[in-house]
Amino acid sequence: MQAMSYTRFGPAADVLKKVTLHTPTPQSGEVLVELAVSGVNPSDVKARSGSRPGITKPAFAQIVPHSDGAGIVVAVGDGVPRERIGSRVWIWNGQWQRALGTASTHICLPSEQAVTLPDNISFNTGANLGIPGLTACHAVFGGDAIDGQTLLIQGGAGTVGLLAVQLAKWGGAHVIATASNNRMRAAQTAGADVVLDYQAEDLSEQIIDANGGKLINRIIEVEFGLNVKVDSEVVEPNGTIAAYGSAQSMTPKLNFGPLLFKAVTIDVLLIYLLPNLQRNIAIERLHDALNQGAIKCPTAAIYSLDRCVEAHEAVEAAGRDGAILLDLQT
């Protein structure tokens, strides 16, 4: 099989190399998927660059990156129904604590990590469902109904944010989103009721005004460290801050008082570690929303496997209008 891999941390152009690897044979409980598309996420880029805190060298001698993807099951191991062969699937946790991810023509992994993709859903969309889709879905719902609530989605024009806006509207919520000035239209198009400039000096006041003077039930947070002051000012008592990122401030300082006296729940999300029950609920919700036409997964650019370096560099650049994908069939 053809793949992109790296053996050391560093810039994409220095460390990513195309290689030919042995196509694996599925073992008991596993499936072999011929991949059509691989999703390139910020977490993949950070892992390759070595920028994750406390990690000084790759966990494996050779790593094929990327955790998300979509394709067709072409072989199964013992204990997996042969009826799965030929199934269209999307992948979650393809490279989490594993050496071989989806930047490859094939991937072998446990059968449950290859989720049947509805026939009306494209492989491109399927390659968005693992990290962005599950993160957005779990952050928005957290296991509970949101009908009639107000959700604040910080970073509402990012890949996760755009999905969160759409899912929140599908769930019946009033949605306030923040975005940079040049990305506000994207959040509006996704369905946000109000979109505010995240750099506004009076952002807290604008958020509360946009909610009719009331505080916010639930906040979906892309940059916890930078935004926790605003979040603590606008969240209601017993409200929740569901934080899935804090890349620009990984060691934030918290003013504990405002959070304490509102009894705020800070729900830190790492989608790789989502318990099976919660993951299955999120998968079912995502499929329901897709089948009802409630969400679309915008794609900013598609690259061939040979251009994987460019794909990583595109993810590292700011301001893209959707996901970055690899087309593994060209």
pLDDT tens series, the chain, 330 aa = 999 999 999 999 999 999 999 999 999 999 999 999 999 999 999 999 999 888 999 999 999 999 999 999 999 999 999 999 999 999 999 999 999 999 999 999 999 999 999 999 999 999 999 999 999 999 999 968 999 999 999 999 999 999 999 999 999 999 999 999 999 999 999 999 999 999 999 999 999 999 999 999 999 999 999 999 999 999 999 999 999 999 999 999 999 999 999 999 999 999 999 999 999 999 999 999 999 999 999 999 999 999 999 999 999 997 788 999 999 998
Give the C-alpha separation, 217 to 197, whole Å. Answer: 20
43, 208, 221, 253 from 202: Cα distances, Å: 32, 10, 18, 21
Q: How far apart are CA 274 and CA 67, in angstroms?
A: 15
Which distant-in-sequence residues (6+ apart) come within 8 Å of 54 by Cβ?
A: none
Query: What pLDDT was estimated at residue 327?
Result: 98
- Indicate the pTM of the whole model: 0.96
318 burial level (CB within 10 Å; 0-12, 13-18, 19+): exposed
Specify the pLDDT at position 28.
98
Check: CB of residue 233 under 8 Å from CB of residue 156. no
In this predicted structure, what is the pLDDT of residue 143?
A: 64
Q: What is the secondary structure of 145-163 as a DSSP string?
A: --TT-EEEETTTTSHHHHH
pLDDT of residue 160: 96
pLDDT at 330: 85
pLDDT for the residue 126 = 98
Position 321 scores a pLDDT of: 81
Domains of the chain: residue spans and CATH: 2-128+297-327 (3.90.180.10), 142-272 (3.90.180.10)
Please choose, from the candidates 242, 29, 17, the residue with its C-alpha nearest in 3D space to the C-alpha of residue 144: 242
Q: List phi, psi (to 5°) of 277.
A: -60, -45
According to the model, what pLDDT value does residue 16 have? Answer: 98
